[in-house]
Amino acid sequence: MSKNRFRPIIIPKQVKLSVVNSFVKVGGPLGNLELKMSSKVKAVVEEDKVFIKALENTKTAASHQGTMRSLIKNMIDGVMEGFQKTLIIEGTGYRAQMSGAGLQLFLGYSKPKTVAIPQDVKCELKVVKSAEKGDLTYITLKGIDKQKVGDIAALIKKTRKPDPYKHKGVRYADEVLRKKIGKRAVVQA
């Protein structure tokens, strides 16, 4: 088992954290977040630190303790600095544009795919012209809730996963793709 679950979370001066019943509320310069705690753990605030205590001595309670610690740590990081994910759209004719319903993705299908973007997640688009790869569209998602930002990024990526031969599709900016060799290259060798 990880020992991280016993480590306290340090609360910065700009962040206000309160525990009411089984809810943890975190407020900071970028916004406010709320989390319902598991029934197997409790949060104890001491000066500028938060300790997560397990109410039982079981493996499940220990795993909930570590999970709740990570979630509260992410909430504090979110209201202080925020989270960001960047995706790249690569392929001939592939592009994205903002619309009233959300983000419209033109990815080679007969109709554009639309992904709804929540109000608390900001979406920025940037097109970069490249001689070797064509036009690359960078989609940057920013928000204070790590889970929401990650979920929206996963939904966008799911619309067209990258092709292993030509790398056409939607991928994360830090994702490394292995390029497969086509049949013709194998036969000629």
Q: Check pLDDT > 70 for residue 139.
A: yes
Q: Which amino acid is at 24?
A: V
Query: Is it the case that residue 8 has pLDDT exceeding 70?
Result: yes
Residue range 80-103, pLDDT digits in tens: 999 999 999 998 889 999 998 799
pLDDT-based confidence at 167, cuts 50/70/90? confident
Convert the pLDDT of each residue in 40-74 to its tens digit. Answer: 999 999 989 999 999 999 999 999 999 999 999 99
165 contacts 180 by C-beta, under 8 angstroms:
yes
Distance between CA 69 and CA 119 in Å, rounded?
Answer: 27
Q: How many helices (H) and strands (E) does the chain have?
A: 3, 13
Q: Which residues contact 164 (CB under 8 A, 6 or more apart)?
A: 177, 178, 179, 180
Bridge partners (DSSP) of residue 41 are 54
Residues 13-42, mean pLDDT to the nearest whole number: 93
Q: Is the pLDDT of residue 144 over 80?
A: yes
pLDDT(113) > 70: yes
188: pLDDT confidence band, cut at 50, 70 and 90? low
- Looking at residue 47, what is its pLDDT? 87
Domain with CATH 3.90.930.12 in the chain: 4-80, 83-172
Encoded tokens for 67: 């999970």
User: What distances in angstroms separate CA 31 from CA 20, 26, 27, 101, 121, one per listed residue?
Assistant: 18, 8, 6, 24, 12
pLDDT at 186: 61
User: 4-80, what's its fold?
Assistant: Outer Surface Protein A; domain 3 (3.90.930)
What is the average pLDDT value for the chain, to the nearest integer?
A: 91
| CA diameter of the chain | 70
Fold of 83-172: Outer Surface Protein A; domain 3 (3.90.930)
Q: How far, CA to CA in Å, does 153 sit from each of 88, 112, 116, 130, 134?
A: 11, 17, 11, 23, 22
What residue spans of the chain are helical by DSSP H?
59-80, 146-158, 183-188
Average of per-residue pLDDT across 5-19: 92
pTM flag (> 0.75): yes
Rounded Cα–Cα distance for residues 59 and 38 (Å): 14
What is the predicted pLDDT for the residue at 170? 95
